[in-house]
Amino acid sequence: MPVRTPRQRRILARVAPEQFVGRGEQLRELTALGSPRAEQRGVLLFASPQSGVSELLRQTFDELFRQRGGPAPVYFAFTRADAATTAAARRFLQTFLTQVVAHRRDDPALVSATPTLRTLLDLAAPQDYEWVERLIQDFERAQGEGDERALIRLCLGAPQQAAAHGARAVVMFDDLQAAEGLRGEVSLGPAVAQSAAQWGVPFVVAGPRRRLLDLLNGSLPLAALEGLRKIHLDRLKEADASALVEGLAQRLGVTLNDETRDLVVQQLEASPYLIAALLDAAHTKGKGLTGFREFLSLYVDELLGGRVGRRYAAVLEEVAAAPALRRALLRVLYEAATNPSSKSPAEVWMKRLGADVHEFDRVVRLLHMHELANFHATYVETTPSAPWRDFLRASYRLQVAAEPRALVVADTLVETLKRAPQTMARHYRRESALGLGRVMRAFNFQSVPVSLLRYDRWARTYRGLAREEARAGLATETDTLPLPQVVHAASCASFHPPMRQLCDEERCTVAHGFETGGYNAGGEVVWIAAEVESKLEAGRALAELWLDRLEQVSQACGFERARFWLVSREGFSADAAELLSERDAYGSCREQLEHLAALLSSEGEGAGEGGADEFAIELPMLEDTELIAAHTVEQIARRMEFQPEAINQIKTALVEACINAAEHSLSTERKIYNRFRVEDDKLVITVSSRGLAVPVTLPENGVADKNGGEGAKGRRGWGLKLIRTLMDDVEFERVDDGTRLRMTKYLRK
């Protein structure tokens, strides 16, 4: 007989635990707050719009409730319906007592009930009776006295009171932003965050990320924030969003096909809230999602009269309660959205809204918080979210232009249908993009075979070889190219908007970085990389066109030193490769890029943690201690069966590296760290020290010149030259403090 797992009962959650997807990591972290061994006592949950933060908290509540013997979960969501701060505080006290008593009695049904305070007292467990009674009496007294501050302090202090009597709780506040529009003397948002931080009770404060950031950056004293864990909740990953759509469709009995599922995810921008709303609407209306038309028809209905539209409308009402202001706001939002740059000067907005400075400030700050617009002090920009812009366009036509509803509905449906194939095409292009930004972020001062960035060399040596053969060949290449460390990479269009017209954002990336030698102006470099679309080898004309474009970007952005890198799936024709060479640009095909990505990630891992075949010693900077390193490496090199001459070279190079570290670092800890990584075909030695960075180009005298007239000073500074001569690869890796020299000797038996 098959074993059946009993379905876990939902208490506050709206989705069954097994159908709650994409938030496993955050859920684990929040439920861990209930553990007595939890390192974190407070969490700030920064939620992006419609990211499903409330469901995450409700799932956490259910999970903690089911864990008997642990602290009682308490979930409290602020709402503008409370109107006043005292009402919100009173409701918090009631919610807190209800949920704690429910947990202590193991009575989940009580959670959704609304018992009076006196009823709760009757229901309280004997060991809780005393503190619950005192809390209620204190509350009734404070309420009678009419002291708002005292009442709020008392209500918000309930978790602390309960904990003092052994009734531990994990308190979760949701929708913190709603606490701020409430009437009253006390600014409840900061008060809640500050009180919670002082309780000594585990808590979560969740709200729109931009509002929480404002709190962090101003309204709250820093001491209240120390030690708080900050979790960012973004939109779902596309795979998780697909799983959510499928799970909901199955649960709600909505028929669905794969193509429509993918469009749902793309059109609704993987938002759990929007997906749930659409699937719920399909269920309610008995409609299937078996084609683009069915889905988009439902989408337009939802946008113009359903839950999605009401949600946007509610936010607009909150932002601009007066109809005239709301109408003006719709107009400027719509106009900004249709403006190619989406931006308008703040003064224009203020004038068009007919608002004074304070009103304007309030409006744009609320729009900014809800991420319906971005306010950057001098200009305002409408957020480029497709559902939001669809809502805006339709609402403008209905409410401002007063167009017939049927026309607006029809046009919106037609437009979204026409856009659907483009939406999917963009998705496919994004998915198939080669990820130049990701590759460049992994550069990190590593050196790679030149063949990976010079297509002509690649074509000469590796084209047509099996992947493994090419990999083996690359591993023995000694002609290497030092890559910079990329400190920032973003789409080219975000630097130079006209590029949006020429290619997808993912396919052209600008990466700012530094070449080996430290973070100084001389080492600054900008790499601009673009994926060139060509089914065959890209020809000279195409390569030239792209190099010109990248050159224009560089000039428009004022980059002083730029390197251009073109990537074409099938590589470049001979004359295109020649052009790249003439213009000192790099060129790679897809296969080169894949080798490069694999190499960068494996070298990054190797350099970081050290594998099983890595030896490490730490030397004090004392007289002759470099000999200990030399003897150690001699033993390792012998085991690897290096030739005696090579062993001597390695020893000498290592001695020189240690001397450099000791002489130049001015290290206060006076230590040299040596690592010896044994690989199949090479020995990689890193010598690092803290302190001053050893100059990458120490004065090199070349050969001894007894007529140089520089005395002893003129005879020094040969260490690096020796190292470079004796070893196969030598490079300085960038470290924040001090110097790390990496030297490689290849095994030639």
Task: List residues near other proteins by CB under 8 A.
Answer: 623-624, 626-627, 630, 645, 648-649, 651-652, 655-656, 659, 702-706, 712, 715-716, 718-719, 722, 725
Q: How far is the CB of 725 from other proteins (least distance, A)?
A: 6
Exposure string of 188-209, with b = 16+ CB inside 10 Å and e = fewer, is bbbbbbbbbbebebbbbbbbbb
Which residue spans within 332-456 are E strands per DSSP?
Answer: 343-345, 373-375, 379-382, 447-449
d(CA 405, CA 587): 54
Residue nearer to other proteins on the CB measure, 466 or 703: 703
Residue nearer to other proteins on the CB measure, 705 or 737: 705
Residue nearer to other proteins on the CB measure, 130 or 663: 663
Residue nearer to other proteins on the CB measure, 475 or 627: 627
Residue nearer to other proteins on the CB measure, 226 or 624: 624
Dihedral (Cα; 361, 365, 366, 370), 10-degree rounding: 160
Which residue spans within 450-499 are E strands per DSSP?
Answer: 480-482, 485-491
Q: How far is the CB of 653 from other proteins (least distance, A)?
A: 11
Residue nearer to other proteins on the CB measure, 181 or 717: 717
Q: Please give the helix or strand (H or E) that residue 27 lies within, else none.
A: helix 24-31
Q: How far is the CB of 631 from other proteins (least distance, A)?
A: 10
Specify burial of residue 509 (Cβ count, 10 A radius: 0-12, 13-18, 19+): buried
d(CA 652, CA 645): 11
Q: How far is the CB of 699 from other proteins (least distance, A)?
A: 12
Q: How far is the CB of 580 from other proteins (least distance, A)?
A: 36
d(CA 245, CA 740): 50
Residue nearer to other proteins on the CB measure, 406 or 704: 704
Residues 6 or more apart whose Cβ sits within 8 Å of residue 393 = 334, 337, 412
Q: How far is the CB of 629 from other proteins (least distance, A)?
A: 11
d(CA 699, CA 712): 13
Q: How far is the CB of 664 from other proteins (least distance, A)?
A: 13
Residues 6 or more apart whose Cβ sits within 8 Å of residue 292 = 259, 260, 263, 417, 420
Residue nearer to other proteins on the CB measure, 162 or 637: 637
Contact 651, 645 (CB under 8 A): no
Q: How far is the CB of 704 from other proteins (least distance, A)?
A: 4
Q: What is the DSSP string of 196-250?
A: HHHHSS-EEEEEEHHHHHHIIIIIS-HHHHTT-EEEEE-PPPHHHHHHHHHHHHH
| SS3 assignment for 152-171 | HHHHHCHHHHHHHCCCCEEE
- Which structure tokens are listed for 228? 């708080």
Residue nearer to other proteins on the CB measure, 382 or 660: 660
Q: How far is the CB of 719 from other proteins (least distance, A)?
A: 5
Residue nearer to other proteins on the CB measure, 308 or 629: 629
For CA atoms 305, 310, 316, 322, the dihedral sign is: positive
Dihedral (Cα; 577, 578, 583, 585), 10-degree rounding: 20
Q: How far is the CB of 646 from other proteins (least distance, A)?
A: 10
